[in-house]
A and B are shown apart, each in its own frame.
Chain A
Amino acid sequence: MEKGGLGLEITELRLGLPGTEKMMKKRGFTEMIMTSSGSNSDQCESGVVSSGGDVEKVNESPVAKSQVVGWPPVCSYRRKNSCKEVSTTKVGLGYVKVSMDGVPYLRKMDLGSSQGYDDLAFALDKLFSFHGIGVALKDGDNCEYVTIYEDKDGDWMLAGDVPWGMFIESCKRLRIMKRSDATGFGLQPRGADE
């Protein structure tokens, strides 16, 4: 991840299809939130996720309140296992669903508790007790599984390309997929070096 030294603005161009105008989309979502009171909640939610920063300016208090430790009083076991902690006002951090092909259950993990892709690899290995995921993240082409994630626009991207901070901000869910199934899945291209 040599891109660590570069400013985010440069790397932002690499997200999603080339040519999509991310900045304009962000404003669009903010406008949607301001005008949609009680309209399609799905839109509202994804709008909140993708423009986390903007929402904070629009609606300051819910963010502050939601960051109170231990509130609402839902016990931590229950939080991990059922409540939607992702999206709404936490900017990218929180629990995301992780699925692995061939495994009959979904898991949830807290992206915020990992420090980087190495940490994530380790955590994923532990989650499914399978020691190939970490290799997949680092090595790319040499193993049976690929790790992909759904970003805030609903596109599926290969994990590991973008800087960590950007990744956790946009990742909505993770999927560990068999490499053989990945071709033809419709993964977004990594973005040409423009």
Chain B
Amino acid sequence: MNYFPDEVIEHVFDFVTSHKDRNSISLVCKSWFKIERYSRQNVFIGNCYSISPERLLRRFPCFKSLTLKGKPHFADFNLVPHGWGGFVQPWIEALARSRVGLEELRLKRMVVTDEGLELLSRSFVNFKSLVLVSCEGFSTDGLASIASNCRHLRDLDLQENEIDDHRGQWLSCFPETYTSLVTLNFACLEGETNLVALERLVARSPNLRSLKLNRAVPLDALARLMACAPQIVDLGVGSYEDEQDSESCLKLQAAIRKCTSLRSLSGFLEAAPHCLSAFHPVCHNLTSLNLSYAAEIHGSHLIKLIEHCKKLQRLWILDSIGDKGLEVVASTCKELQELRVFPTDLHGGGNTAVTEDGLVAISAGCPKLHSILYFCQQMTNAALITVARNCPNFIRFRLCILEPHKPDHVTSQPLDEGFGAIVQACKNLKRLSVSGLLTDQVFLYIGMFATQLEMLSIAFAGDTDKGMLYVLNGCKKMRKLEIRDSPFGDAALLADVNKYETMRSLWMSSCEVTLGGCKRLARKAPWLNVEIINENDNNRMEENGYEGRQKVDNKLYLYRTVVGTRVDAPPFVWIL
């Protein structure tokens, strides 16, 4: 290969797109490192504190797309206090100062501001795509800047963000001459929407493929929108309340029938129970269905809809569908690859929740299933063993039994054997979440068999440090380990400090680690940032004489970094 001119090698590299592969290429030799550097288009940074924007720009001067992730995963569950970090501002400022021609920015769990969005909108002439997932700190004013200034915007995709809705006119900030919209997702906006501006925008966007509305878009508006965008592929219905006005319903049904390209349906944030029948005509083409926010819709209506969805590959649903409903899914959706079943009632009170029977039915009926997230009230080892046998192809397996420490409800045994069967059968398993009553034994199995495992979530599980050690020693590809409320302490934490260099991050909260142990770790591994998130009285722990042995009631979050201690940590975060 070294006899070819650089341009040829670069052309070959163009076909290599995955980050992992490009990282591998860059390690082959100096010449490849250099060629790869200058030709990398998409940069992925899984932890924004692992590197600085300056170093990013030094290494990759020509990238067009940047993905950044900020807060740790458990921030989704309110375990990370407000103000912890993940600020995107320094990144936008540094990129704006440089000459990089940024076209796409994807942020997850980061703090974004209106000022930042404004700077972004004015700094990159060819900016095309903004995707914000689980972010916060900005308002519709920031969206107005993006709409006003980004002449070539294609995608504005806002997923599950906390946005301060000023009910302004951000939608009317898209110029009348602007016609390049492809994706518009504002489902997470809480306030009223300028329907006139929205309809005009959709009407002048012939390339619009994905439209996800918020709950303030009523039925008649939905009908008009779909009538002027029959080319739509991905639709998020905002609100679909019972309408006395049947004319709107008929108009909607007529419009839906024309949407022959529709493949993905979601939303139904406020939905009347009977609304789904309007969508039956398009069901046979659907590959993705997300009804997980439609708490008002009864299981029977869900089932009637799903019976028509023979091509479904992805299904997100509430447990109100019940085991019977899952049996219908199993017999209808033979192409199913990903299933998520969310709880309607967080404290396990409903009768309609799903059980192990539903899970077994799915595993038996859907041969292509590779990803599952399943909330349920009860489970058995026998069921998990059956699931493992039926479905050895799982890549992601997340099971959440709502009550912590709950054993096999038939035998009263821990669920070690069940999860053990899963990791043994599923040789490609990359992500696992365990729950229920579990001893160190399950971690022995995980360490032994889950050779490809990259992300593991543990809660209320295990007996001794051995559990955590099995995992750290056995799972060579582990990248993210997150543990809460489990009896793992300093011995496990400190056993193999170098392990953490091979991982992106470790989270431990309400475990048995002590402040002294964390300090020892920080001393041994200066290339780690060891953070203690301390929400209680900040000074107590240091003042009293037991500080070395004091348990970290709070949270430990450590991650590898090449840029040392971060400077933006709030007072309640101690970086050791």
Asked if A129 and B192 make an inter-chain contact with CB atoms under 8 angstroms apart, the answer reads yes
Asked if A82 and B342 make an inter-chain contact with CB atoms under 8 angstroms apart, the answer reads yes
User: How far apart are the CA atoms of A44 and B351 in the complex, in Å?
Assistant: 10
Residue of A75, A85, A104, A106 with highest tally of chain B CB at under 10 A? A104
User: How far apart are the CA atoms of A77 and B342 in the complex, in Å?
Assistant: 13
Cβ < 8 Å to B, chain A residues 43-101: 44-45, 48, 62, 65-66, 68-79, 81-85, 87-89
**A interface residues with partner B (beta carbon < 8 Å):** 38, 41, 44-45, 48, 62, 65-66, 68-79, 81-85, 87-89, 104-107, 129
Minimum CB–CB distance for B120 against chain A, Å: 23
Given contacts A41-B349, A77-B160, are A105 and B215 in contact (CB under 8 A)?
Answer: yes
Measured CB to CB, the nearest residue on chain A to B352 is A41
Cβ < 8 Å to A, chain B residues 336-354: 342-352
Given contacts A70-B77, A129-B191, A129-B192, are A78 and B241 in contact (CB under 8 A)?
Answer: no
10 A-B residue pairings within 8 Å (CB atoms): A41-B350, A62-B347, A70-B77, A72-B400, A73-B400, A74-B342, A74-B346, A79-B346, A105-B215, A105-B239
The residues of B that contact A65 with a CB separation of less than 8 Å are: 347, 403-404
User: How far apart are the CA atoms of A60 and B448 in the complex, in Å?
Assistant: 39
Given contacts A41-B349, A48-B349, are A68 and B404 in contact (CB under 8 A)?
Answer: yes
Interface of B is mostly: loop
| Closest 3 pairs between A and B when the two form their complex, measured CB to CB | A70-B77, A75-B76, A77-B160
User: How far apart are the CA atoms of A45 and B351 in the complex, in Å?
Assistant: 11
The residues of A that contact B433 with a CB separation of less than 8 Å are: 73
The residues of A that contact B74 with a CB separation of less than 8 Å are: 70
Asked if B346 and A83 make an inter-chain contact with CB atoms under 8 angstroms apart, the answer reads yes
A41-B351, A82-B344 known, 16 other contacts, Cβ within 8 Å: A38-B351, A66-B346, A66-B347, A70-B79, A72-B375, A73-B400, A74-B346, A78-B160, A78-B342, A79-B346, A82-B318, A83-B342, A84-B295, A104-B216, A104-B218, A104-B239
Asked if B269 and A88 make an inter-chain contact with CB atoms under 8 angstroms apart, the answer reads no
User: How far apart are the CA atoms of A75 and B295 in the complex, in Å?
Assistant: 16
Choice from A44, A76, A88 contacting B347 with Cβ under 8 Å: A88
The residues of B that contact A85 with a CB separation of less than 8 Å are: 346
Choice from A48, A69, A81, A87 contacting B269 with Cβ under 8 Å: A81
The residues of B that contact A104 with a CB separation of less than 8 Å are: 216, 218, 239, 241
Minimum CB–CB distance for B300 against chain A, Å: 16
The residues of B that contact A105 with a CB separation of less than 8 Å are: 215-216, 238-239, 241, 269-270
Minimum CB–CB distance for B372 against chain A, Å: 15
Interface of A is mostly: loop
Asked if A45 and B77 make an inter-chain contact with CB atoms under 8 angstroms apart, the answer reads no
- Is B293 interfacial (CB-CB < 8 Å)? yes
Measured CB to CB, the nearest residue on chain A to B161 is A77
User: How far apart are the CA atoms of A82 and B238 in the complex, in Å?
Assistant: 13
- Is B402 interfacial (CB-CB < 8 Å)? yes
Residue of B215, B349, B352 with highest tally of chain A CB at under 10 A? B349
The residues of B that contact A71 with a CB separation of less than 8 Å are: 77, 404, 459
Asked if A107 and B190 make an inter-chain contact with CB atoms under 8 angstroms apart, the answer reads yes
User: How far apart are the CA atoms of A83 and B239 in the complex, in Å?
Assistant: 17
User: How far apart are the CA atoms of A5 and B318 in the complex, in Å?
Assistant: 45
- Is B205 interfacial (CB-CB < 8 Å)? no
Per-position 1/0 for B202-221, Cβ under 8 A of A:
00000000000001101000
- Is B561 interfacial (CB-CB < 8 Å)? no
- Is B167 interfacial (CB-CB < 8 Å)? yes
The residues of A that contact B351 with a CB separation of less than 8 Å are: 38, 41
Asked if A73 and B295 make an inter-chain contact with CB atoms under 8 angstroms apart, the answer reads no
The residues of A that contact B191 with a CB separation of less than 8 Å are: 129
Minimum CB–CB distance for A150 against chain B, Å: 17
User: How far apart are the CA atoms of A89 and B457 in the complex, in Å?
Assistant: 27
Asked if B79 and A69 make an inter-chain contact with CB atoms under 8 angstroms apart, the answer reads yes
- Is B515 interfacial (CB-CB < 8 Å)? no
Minimum CB–CB distance for B206 against chain A, Å: 28
Measured CB to CB, the nearest residue on chain A to B457 is A73
Minimum CB–CB distance for B207 against chain A, Å: 29
Minimum CB–CB distance for A77 against chain B, Å: 4
Residue of A44, A85, A87, A106 with highest tally of chain B CB at under 10 A? A106
Minimum CB–CB distance for B560 against chain A, Å: 25
Cβ < 8 Å to A, chain B residues 370-405: 375, 400, 402-404
- Is B188 interfacial (CB-CB < 8 Å)? yes
Minimum CB–CB distance for B362 against chain A, Å: 20
Minimum CB–CB distance for B217 against chain A, Å: 8
The residues of B that contact A72 with a CB separation of less than 8 Å are: 343, 346, 375, 400, 402
- Is B134 interfacial (CB-CB < 8 Å)? yes
User: How far apart are the CA atoms of A74 and B402 in the complex, in Å?
Assistant: 10
Measured CB to CB, the nearest residue on chain B to A73 is B77
Per-position 1/0 for B225-257, Cβ under 8 A of A:
000000000000011010000000000000000
Measured CB to CB, the nearest residue on chain A to B166 is A129
Given contacts A72-B402, A75-B134, A105-B239, are A89 and B347 in contact (CB under 8 A)?
Answer: yes
User: How far apart are the CA atoms of A104 and B343 in the complex, in Å?
Assistant: 26
Given contacts A71-B459, A72-B375, A88-B349, are A82 and B295 in contact (CB under 8 A)?
Answer: yes
Given contacts A66-B347, A84-B346, A104-B216, are A74 and B77 in contact (CB under 8 A)?
Answer: yes
Cβ < 8 Å to A, chain B residues 349-371: 349-352
The residues of A that contact B215 with a CB separation of less than 8 Å are: 105-106
Asked if A75 and B160 make an inter-chain contact with CB atoms under 8 angstroms apart, the answer reads yes
Cβ < 8 Å to A, chain B residues 158-179: 160-162, 167
User: How far apart are the CA atoms of A69 and B78 in the complex, in Å?
Assistant: 7
Choice from A38, A87, A106 contacting B270 with Cβ under 8 Å: A106
